[in-house]
Structure 1
Amino acid sequence: MSLDALKEALPAYAKDTRLNLGSVIGTSTLPAQQLWGTVLAVAVACRNEQVLRELDEAAREHLSAEAVQAARAAASIMAMNNVYYRAKHLVGDPEYNNLPARLRMQVIGNPGVDKVDFELWCLAVSAITGCGVCLESHEKALRKEGVPRETVHEALRIAGVVHAAAVTLDAERVLADA
């Protein structure tokens, strides 16, 4: 299984990350589509080839073709939105909030999967890229739909652990080439 291959690829010093990958993904209380869509969306956002390859393989065992595309779409749209909205916020001039984005974001309104699942994936990607505006917006949308804090918390845990694996493997690749 590809999750096992990913865990095996982690060096000894990343034992906590290896164990957390197994426990956070393996014992998640999220329904399969929410879990594996979150895993796939954050794997895309982490931009590590090995993490993406292994977790994409694992996710495909649990997701429909539509859900795979929607998870990838969540990562793609949030790659744009996280930069745009974080930058507007960091500029510090509230007048920028009066200017229209004029960026195509239709997938958010029609993602091809349950809207709550897509919102959860967008939230997890926003945690990877560090956009507070998007994190707040997606958390608020999820809570408005009755999603409990524990579900949001699970998505954030998944994002953190997958990101840690990606960072570790990126470092190992660079150090091996040195």
Structure 2
Amino acid sequence: KIVLLGDNRIGKSAIQSRLVQDYVPEYVQTDLDVYTISMTLDSTVLQLKLWDFGGSKREIDIPAVRHIIEPERKLKMTKITQRLHIILGAYKQGLNEHICRTIALYYVEVSVREVIYPGVDLFMICFGMDNRDSFKSAFEFWLQEKRKYSNAPVAVLGLKSDQKHAVQESEIE
């Protein structure tokens, strides 16, 4: 599993479309696109699953991955409910399961990133060569965000190399 990370409008979806479909479509904002491509390397057929997350820095609610997040959310809910029942049960006899679950619901937040990122084999942190802010963001936000959830390897990609460069190659090294 390979995940592409980086700011909006820097070319992540374009590079993915080029690899998967051999063409670059007009820009459409992405929340999440997932593609599978097959390639042969040293006579071994590889199946690569490319996940292209939109460039939103805030947590996003993506209907397409709710089914992935839901089991994790339920597990967290159960653990918190059990802890609350034990802790609060000592203070007030008769505190029922429903009240504990209601309290737990307010404390459970499961993000797309914390569920998806741990299973990733490679992160491609992207920036636009024509966009200095995206270069800065690649290291100050996206790399840090990835490190919260995963120790997987990282490749850094400078996209839009055909545009006027706002980032010099010497800075990238």
Between Structure 1 and Structure 2, the one with more strand by share is: 2
Between Structure 1 and Structure 2, the one with more helix by share is: 1
- Same fold at TM > 0.5: no
TM range, smaller chain: 0.3 to 0.5
Indicate the structure whose relative CO is greater, using CA pairs within 8 Å and at least 6 residues apart.
Answer: 1
After TM superposition, the score normalised by the length of structure 1 is 0.32
